[in-house]
Chains A and B, each alone.
Chain A
Amino acid sequence: MKARVMVMLRNGVLDPQGEAVRTALGNLGFEGVGGVRQGKVIELDLSETDPEAARHSVTAMCEKLLANTVIESYQIEIL
């Protein structure tokens, strides 16, 4: 089964890259973009077949490596 992890900067943490993208969109004439937050998506191919066990395992991966929970939050989607 596959898992998809979305890692984003926590709310309240200033995202300088997102801010640069927002400015670039404005320069291109796209109006009304109030804010941009940039994150990353990590897709995992897992041999696990039980969704609950997979979620448990991917949570451990996020806590240990995939996200820095000091500044980032994560969401896990089991596909």
Chain B
Amino acid sequence: MRAAVIVFPGSNCDRDMAVAFREVTGAETTMVWHGESGLPDNVDIVGIPGGFSFGDYLRCGAIAANSPICRAVVDYAKSGGAVLGVCNGFQVLTETGLLPGALMRNSNLKFICKPVDLVVETTDSIFTSGYGKGQKIEIPVAHHDGNYRATGDLLAQLEAEDRIAFRYAEDINGADDRIAGVLSSNRRVLGLMPHPERAVDALHGGTDGVAMFKALAESLVSA
């Protein structure tokens, strides 16, 4: 398995994500700077990490979404490539249009940084096949803008298409229907606010993120 992790100015979870790919999946992992115009050859998955790309100027993820590498990531995803966006990476994915909806300021206006309980809502994806449906897992969050908005008919559509990957067990940020992570229509792109890469080692205080990376290794290696 080969992974690429995108690095923007202001990314700060890029190395954590690379460590998770390397340690849990054994993937050969390449860091790719935002100014690059292409991804490495034969990449099985692209990770878009958390952080504050471009200082969150204008809107979280908006400037990163228009960087040269993101044009390559969009092409990659549209041709069926797997993409995992965490936290700021989720915001970037919504700004590129690869994932629907938008992420707004938390309803209580506070930066929330703590482990939270998530409910696994679907096991039908390369990211979530290692969990049980309805399983509760504990994954850390660290965000100011994680209030997911699914406007118009989007909420019903996500529900009907089984594209809500995770919900918060309890409301933490005002997100519509407590949505913490959503899948693309081809189920190969996942964006989520919680940080699975921060829960892959006993020293992290929890290892509930391991199953996501192991599931990726299994489905992407056999692919």
Residues of A within 8 A of B (CB): 10, 13-14, 16-17, 20, 64-66, 68, 70-71
What's the least CB distance linking B71 to chain A, in Å?
12
Q: Which B residues from 72 to 125 make CB contacts under 8 A with A?
A: 94-95, 100-102, 104-109
Assess the A71–B107 pair: CB atoms within 8 A: no
Q: Which residues of B contact A14 (CB under 8 A)?
A: 107, 174
**A68 to B103 Cα, complex, angstroms:** 10
Contact of A71 among B66, B109, B149 (CB under 8 A): B149
Closest A-chain residue to B149, C-beta based? A71
On chain B, the number of residues with a Cβ less than 8 Å from chain A's Cβ atoms is 20
Between A and B, 5 residue pairs with Cβ closer than 8 Å are A10-B151, A16-B108, A68-B62, A70-B100, A70-B149
B59 beta carbon closer than 8 Å to chain A: yes
**B-side binding surface: helix, strand, loop or mixed?**
loop
- Tell me the B residues contacting A by CB distance below 8 Å: 58-59, 62-63, 66, 94-95, 100-102, 104-109, 147, 149, 151, 174
Specify which of A10, A16, A20, A68 is in contact with B59 (CB 8 Å cutoff).
A68
| Inter-chain contact A16/B174, CB cutoff 8 Å | yes
Given contacts A13-B149, A16-B107, A17-B109, contact A65 B102 (CB under 8 A): no
Question: Which B residue sits closest to A10, measured CB to CB?
Answer: B151
